[in-house]
Amino acid sequence: MIRSQPHPYIQTWLLFWVILSGAFSSRAQSAEELQKQGNKIYLDKPANALQLFEKAYRMALQRGQINLAANILADKATVYYVRDDYHQATTICRSGLQLSPLADSTRFKLWASLGEMYHRRDRPDSLTWFWQRAETLLTTQPRIEQETLAYVAAFWGNRGTTFMEQGDYRQAERCYQKRLLLGRLQDPINLAIAENQFALFYRQIGQLARADSLYLASIRHYTRPDLIRGGLLLGLIECRLHQLRTDSVLRLEREARQYIPKKGTDGIELAAYLDQSLGKYWEQKRKLALAKHFFVQSLAKGQRLGPSNRLLWRGLLAMSRIAQQQNDITGALAFVQKSIQQASIRFRSSDLRQNPTPTDFLNGPDLFESLCWKAHLLQLVPDQGSNLALANQTYERAFALSDLLQRAYSTELTKLLVQEKLRPAYREAVAVAFACYRQQPNKTTLATLLHRQEQGNASVLRELVGDRQTSYLQLPKHLAEQLQQAKKRLSTAKTTWAEHNPKTAQGSINTELINAELAWNRTYQQLLPYDRYKQLEPDKIKFLQNHLDSQTALLQYTLTPDSLLLTVVKANGVHVLMLPITSPELHRDCSLLRNEVYRNPDPFQYTGQKLAQSLFNRLIGPAWGELQGSKRLIIVRDGPLHYIPFEVLETGQYVNDYLLRHMAITYTYSMHSVIDKYGALPTNKPSVLSMAPFAAPRTLRTADQQDVYDPLPKSDIEADLLSGTHSTAGNASKHTFIALLPKRQLLHLATHAEANDNDPGNSFIAFFPDGASHRLYAHELNLFDLRHIRLAVLSACRTGNGLFHEGEGLLSLSRAFVSAGCPQVITSLWNAHDGTTATLTRLFYHELAQGKPTDIALQQAKLQFLAAQTEGGAYSPPHFWAHLLLMGNPQPVYPKPLNWSWIWGIGVAGIVLALFTYIHIRQKRYR
């Protein structure tokens, strides 16, 4: 039995049983006719339908139609499922599996139905068992998709709904895409259901424009004036409320109420959700009394539907929100505690000091939202002394639940999406931890504050790098091979998808890509028992301080809802400051400075000095006294700071007194990555791989090439600066790069690149077009292990730029290299100037070869470049030198060269001593 949910709030799966009735051919016409009659009347007369199904079942058994009998049992179980008797429905479906022989399509129906029933019974272990077998059967027997198209479509819809409830949005998207593909092969009614499910998904993740268009399409395709159309209208109403488009809400609500039947739980459920929508409508209109009236009505209807209905959780949270807006904080806390109870299995305490355990939940995302709202309310209580500590504890419980949920998410983009949704809670939790630290500045409150900053910072990157540094514990060989095969299949599907549709890949639906990602998810689930997952230790600050010398300081910037915090870590202490800049001011100033720095000033003058000085005074100035004596900075950025090179900030002591002149600067993704990535000093020279695919005067376009790239004549100079493997033009292909990569320790790529802001995994570095795929995509780098690389220099346009994700930073090509284990990457924030980049690179490698750490070598190269410019020279503005940044941990790449002056001195001294000894011995002998 399959439940198809065009809307999670309305049980619209009833439609499928009408569509699927009587679909099997048989010699026993009487049994089939009885089955058809039962399917026609089971919605209105369930008792009569059960009698017909029982009679048809016995008749099919008597005539030896075992497969038909099993299908009749599935229909019989439907009746109990409609009546919410999941236990009896499960028993009947299990009895169908005992019959033999069964067709593969029948076995799939029973397995898929049992998975959905165990989903309704909150039995994730059994759900996984049956759905995995159903999916495996689909994979090995593709013909099932054609034999029972409606069942397979409903199966993917149900899988998508389950993933969405768990918060695994990436997997939900793939399942809904599969559902939509199959819906297009069916009638308009099934297509409408698929569109509605997909619309709900997009609404859930905040892509409201897509959701709105899909809701409108589903309403256009489904024209029957019944309960299902009312559910589709409800989805559109909710979407419009999220968009703050209230003009059409009342009209849509009136139409939806026309389709509510007088009897039945489904009508009550639709009416209750419409009441909640009206409550939200009047809440947006600031008529709180009316809003509260409709929320109370919704709660009353929800209680009639049973204690575990999600309506109650939504209603209680809404009542808490209304109470807070009416300044009734006590009432708001009481309602939110009830909502926590509603989202929990066993937790029933009304004591605000108590919270459920991370594993004690019915719906994890719901419980997380309630806990975060409770923590927010606790900050509003007038006596904040003990309430701040309780808010801290509540956030800790919420994030522990979040960690537990996210462990099961297989894809990187899912983790990123979830992290972005959680980021507002992390920001508020940091503000609470800082308030506690200011009240009681001690080691415990400081450790909590630093832990909060780390929890929401580059967590996905940390996990990806950790997977390479720490393999799965006792992982069987066959699973390791299966893991690599699944990775390769997914990477190949993504590459093919992007190569065939470079302009429209984001909006298209590719069947192989969907199947590859689903296969990767199946493999990932098998790895979880072997995962070496461990929580972050809250206080590693001493370990970090031991790695910082007296001339190095770490600056971590963290945005809170209304401020910017700066944590200064030095070898001799830690200091946390609230900076004098609000979030809107920070975004505005960073945007203005970014525009000035990125653009080529010719023929105009660079005019960013005042902005650069203003940001210096706000970002660095409050800690400038502490930083005296520091020569190196490691900076962890947040928000719009990711787009700003700190080197261009100006102290204001004199003209063009850049921060670059005072300190060497490195950027890293999190404090944790600095702790984990210090390596041993090099003892030998690195083996080099340098490539300049477009150094030739021009690159010809052949018939099978889609791209033509402008020549980069100066890039040949860059690639020839180091002794080692040097490839240009036809020798600098993607195939050559992949073949030589495992044997090299220093990479220099002077080429073209493209940052894809819509899909960061499709950002790429271009190699010479040799007829095959010549793009190295960011998602392909996840297949490589780059821990042996000492330094990668990406001398191409915008390799350090890309889409900003809350809590992760920029999803750039340089980030992909770091995710693959590369400890240091030099990258570019904007379109590089070919000639000046070649000059900077030559100066940089000269300094690097002296055994200097990478950050100091890059600083010295830029200073020498500036010194070579006359005052106001053509290439003195930051556009020509500030684009190259160092990401990672600054370490030497070359060993320090021998100091020959000392060696010569020691040699001469040895010769003099030997000569003196010889003369002394001779004189003694003659005496």
The whole-number pLDDT of residue 15 equals 37
d(CA 565, CA 580): 9
Tokens 């040799």 correspond to 770
The whole-number pLDDT of residue 240 equals 95
The whole-number pLDDT of residue 43 equals 65
d(CA 775, CA 491): 13
Neighbours of 115 (CB within 10 A): 26
The whole-number pLDDT of residue 902 equals 61
Q: What's the distance, CA 920 to chain centroid?
A: 79
Amino acid at 113: S
Residues of the chain with pLDDT under 70: 1-29, 43, 308, 384, 469-472, 501-509, 532-540, 603, 676-679, 696-708, 714, 716-720, 832, 871-872, 898-904, 922, 924-927
Using a cut of 0.85, tell me whether the model's pTM lies above it.
Answer: no
Which DSSP string corresponds to 816-881?
A: HHHHTT-SEEEEESS---HHHHHHHHHHHHHHHTTT-BHHHHHHHHHHHHHHTSPTT-TT-SGGGT
d(CA 116, CA 78): 12
Q: How far is the CA of 387 from the CAs of 31, 233, 435, in angstroms?
A: 67, 42, 11
- Adjacent-strand bridge partners of 664: 632
What would the 3-class secondary structure string for 671-720 be? HHHHHHCCCCCCCCCCCEEEEECCCCCCCCCCCCCCCCCCCCCCHHHHHC
- Adjacent-strand bridge partners of 791: 746
The whole-number pLDDT of residue 349 equals 92
pLDDT (tens digit, 9 = 90+) per residue, 686-733? 999 998 888 765 444 443 444 567 777 767 666 667 778 888 877 888
